[in-house]
Structure formats: C-alpha cells, structure tokens
C-alpha cells in the first residue's frame, strides 16, 4: 500500500497487494477481502497485462473464484514471460490439480523444485498435493524436507499431522499440531487440534480450541460449524443451532464468491442437516458427490449429512466408497457415524483397511 501511495499506477504493487489480500482471505474467509483482491488484480492487469506478477495475481483470483481454466491460462502466460519463475510453476500445478490433472500438477511441482531446490515452500506445496491424492509416504518426504529448510514454520508440521489424522493416528496428529502451536497460535493447527478433541469426545477442550481459532477467523463457516458440532455433542442444542445458522449464512456467502467451492458446499449440507433442513442438505450433498466423486473427505461430509437425515442406506454406501479411497478419519471417529460403523459390512471394510495401513 505504501508503494501505491507513491505511485497509484504501479502495476506490480497492485498485483502484490492483490496476492496479500487473497492470502488473508484464504486464512480468514472474510468475503470483503476477496472483493478487494479482485479489484486490485484488475487494476494490475489493466496497467500492465504483460508483467508476470500481474498475470499471476489475476490467475490466483480466477482460481479462487472458480475459473480454473482461465487461471491456468494466466499462469502459463506468466511462465512464458519468465521461464525461471517457480511461483508460476506452482500456480500452474494448483490449476492442474483443481482440474483433476494430477500427473501434470506433479510435473510442475518437480519443475518448481528444480528451479529453486532449497525453498521450503516448493517442497511443502508438493507435499500438500501428494497428501490430497493419497500418496502419504511421498508426501511425508517432501514435508520433512520443507520442515528441514524451514524449522520455525508451522505449515509442514500441520500437514504431517493431517496425514496421521487421515490414517486414524490421533495421538500422532495431536503431537504434530501441538508442535506447530509452539511456533505461535497457528489457525490451521488450532482448527485441526479441535477436531482431534472432538473425535476423542473431549468436547470442552474442542470448544475452547475452536473458539481460539475463531478469534483469528470469525468469518470462517467451517469453524462455526465445528463449534456447533461440539455444542450438539454436549447437548447444548440452543448454542449449537445459533452456530449452525451463522455457518449456513457464511457458507452461502462463500459459495456466491466461488460456486465451485465444494468443501463449503459439503459443509453447508452438514449444517443444514443438523437443523433438520434435509431436502436442501441432501440436494447439496448429491451435488458435491456428483462433482467430487474422488474426494473421500467430502464423501465423509456427505455421509454425516445422510446419517443426520436418517438415510442410513445411502450413508452406508457413501462410507464404503470413502473407505475404498483409504480415508478413514471422519468415518472412523465422527460420533454421529457410530451407527454406520456398527454395520457388519462397514466393520469388515474398516478391518481390511487396518491391515493395509
């Protein structure tokens, strides 16, 4: 902003501000930040459409608002202008991943690391991709390298904790999240630690931890939904409903900004089901499953939605599909899926998975 005070037409400064605002939006989920980031990005690209920085900022906004193809074009143009730009490589990788082109995404991550092998972020983002496609051992290698290069950072530790959490190792996950918090009150570490407490039925600790996260990100609907789940589990239904309603409003705002934000669509379905609005909830869940059939995490959200709405047959099939994709965290530990876990077919599937992990 100081650079823009000096020169309001400085395209690179507008691009930098857009990226900073976008990073804040991704953390805090305050809609006005995305609106401001979009405005700054448009100013940057208008003032200099051939600057790699302006193309990257434009692509990041497009990616966040659901125009994945347009984002990929912008990032590719940036790389053509600056072939040694590892950030452009990472962003092309992110667009490819969003399009389901995972092998292309891996290649771009490898190119970024080749360009800048000692930058922790390049290893971290590659590890993040590998985590989301289920390559946990390869992900760990990249994350441990990122941690070696950036020992005071929380992000690699949080993702290492998520690998343990996904594999059902609550103790290991809690250790990683706590280690991350030694570097400061990291939002992701707090929100994931609250889930560990929730899965362990330590609802008072879960509430305190998610409230600490909400102090940093009061507009994040996922956090409000998690707090509502904690209150629901403790039988405090009035407080739970208040938080579910807040989450529903915030989910809808996020979806207006990006209709392809399927994580928030799945969260919306869960929140709607919790307050009995099952027709809306099931429609939203089916939409998510039709668009994200290979996402075990979102499948688990849909399973909770179906269970809350009393459709146990559908919930069972969703759970079995999620187990087949080797994601067990919500399936194994979510309190409201206990009725599904007791079904013999589900028990056998979980036992088989245990032998493979």
| d(C-alpha 251, C-alpha 222), whole Å | 8
If phi over 0 gives left and psi between -120 and 50 gives alpha, with beta otherwise, what is residue 235?
A: left
Global pTM? 0.83
If phi over 0 gives left and psi between -120 and 50 gives alpha, with beta otherwise, what is residue 189?
A: alpha
- Indicate the range of 56-60, 160-164, 295-299 predicted with least confidence: 295-299
Percent of all residues in the chain with a pLDDT value above 90, rounded to a whole number: 80
Residues in the chain: 357
pLDDT surpasses 60 at 6: no
Of the candidates 298, 347, 288, 343, the one whose C-alpha atom is nearest the C-alpha of residue 325 is 298
pLDDT surpasses 80 at 10: no
| d(C-alpha 182, C-alpha 139), whole Å | 23
Of the candidates 122, 100, 99, the one whose C-alpha atom is nearest the C-alpha of residue 109 is 122
Q: What pLDDT is recorded for position 354?
A: 78
Give mean pLDDT, residues 310-319.
Answer: 96
> pLDDT tens digits for 14-58?
999 999 999 999 888 888 899 999 999 999 999 999 999 999 999
SS (H, E, C) 245-302: HHHHHHHHHHHHHCCCCHHHHHHHHHHHHHCCCHHHHHHHHHHHHHHCCCCHHHHHHH
């Amino acid at each position: 902003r100081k650079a823009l005070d000096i020169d309001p037409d400085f395209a690179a400064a507008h691009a930098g501000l857009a990226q900073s605002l976008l990073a804040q939006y991704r953390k805090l989920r305050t809609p006005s930040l995305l609106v401001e980031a979009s405005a700054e990005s448009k100013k940057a690209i208008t003032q200099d459409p051939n600057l790699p920085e302006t193309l990257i900022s434009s692509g990041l906004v497009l990616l966040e608002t659901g125009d994945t193809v347009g984002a990929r074009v912008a990032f590719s143009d940036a790389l053509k202008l600056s072939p040694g730009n590892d950030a452009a490589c990472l962003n092309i990788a992110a667009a490819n991943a969003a399009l389901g082109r995972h092998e292309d995404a891996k290649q771009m991550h490898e190119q970024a690391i080749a360009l800048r092998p000692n930058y922790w972020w390049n290893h971290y983002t590659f590890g993040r991709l590998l985590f989301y496609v289920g390559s946990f051992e390869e992900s760990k290698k990249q994350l441990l390298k990122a941690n070696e290069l950036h020992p005071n950072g929380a992000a690699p530790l949080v993702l290492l904790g998520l690998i343990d959490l996904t594999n059902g190792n609550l103790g290991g996950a809690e250790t990683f999240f706590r280690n991350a918090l030694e570097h400061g009150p990291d939002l992701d570490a707090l929100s994931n630690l609250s889930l560990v407490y929730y899965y362990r039925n330590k609802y008072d600790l879960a509430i305190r931890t998610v409230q600490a996260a909400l102090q940093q990100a009061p507009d994040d609907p996922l956090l409000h939904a998690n707090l509502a789940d904690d209150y629901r589990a403790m039988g405090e239904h009035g407080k739970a409903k208040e938080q579910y309603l807040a989450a529903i409003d915030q989910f809808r705002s996020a979806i207006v900004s990006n209709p392809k934000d399927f994580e928030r669509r799945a969260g919306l379905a869960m929140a709607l089901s919790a307050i009995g609005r099952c027709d809306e909830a099931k429609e939203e869940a089916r939409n998510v499953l039709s668009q994200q059939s290979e996402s075990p995490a979102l499948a688990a959200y849909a399973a909770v939605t179906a269970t809350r709405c009393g459709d146990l047959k559908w919930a069972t099939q969703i759970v079995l599909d999620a187990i087949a994709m080797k994601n067990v965290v919500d399936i194994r530990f979510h309190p409201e899926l206990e009725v599904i876990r007791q079904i013999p077919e589900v028990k056998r599937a979980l036992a088989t998975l245990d032998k493979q992990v």
